[in-house]
Amino acid sequence: MQGLVNIGRLTNRQDLIVGARKTADAEIQIMGPDGFLPGRQNSQFHSTVNWCCLTGSAQTSLVWSTFYQLTGEDKYRTALDKINRYLMVRHDIRNSDLRLRGGLPGAWPVWGDYGRLAILNWATNFLVDALTAQKYSTASSLTPVGQC
């Protein structure tokens, strides 16, 4: 989804942007009220596991930030706010072990299949990217650049 929207923007391929947007909208529909997004889903976007891929959630937040910037539609801002809160609750900032403090697990609960029982540097990186994108996409005055 993130690759499709970014390649679509760079190459002016509206079909890629439209495909990414359909997926982004489907993800909004299955996200839980607390921001939980299932770590695996079937082709109808139904959960197939009871854990969340935190890395994928952060990447999804980035996509929603992009669509909020492109369209100005509030559903994307609301979704990225919710999922980023979910991520921040799981971001370990109090651990006494300095090797773990500041890190983000691959999955929640941590025994989920993605990065099982591990702090992933790329998950943490995507979280920083997602929070930065949220800050800049919601702080600016948005001018929609056309329909996707």
Range of the domain at 63: 2-139
Tell me whether residue 62 is in a domain: yes
Tell me whether residue 148 is in a domain: no
Measured CA to CA, the distance from residue 61 to residue 99 in angstroms comes to 26
Mean pLDDT score, 62-75: 95
Mean pLDDT score, 39-60: 95
pLDDT tens readout for residues 81-124: 999 999 999 998 888 988 888 899 999 999 999 989 998 889 99
Tell me whether residue 144 is in a domain: no
Question: The pTM is what?
Answer: 0.88
Tell me whether residue 82 is in a domain: yes
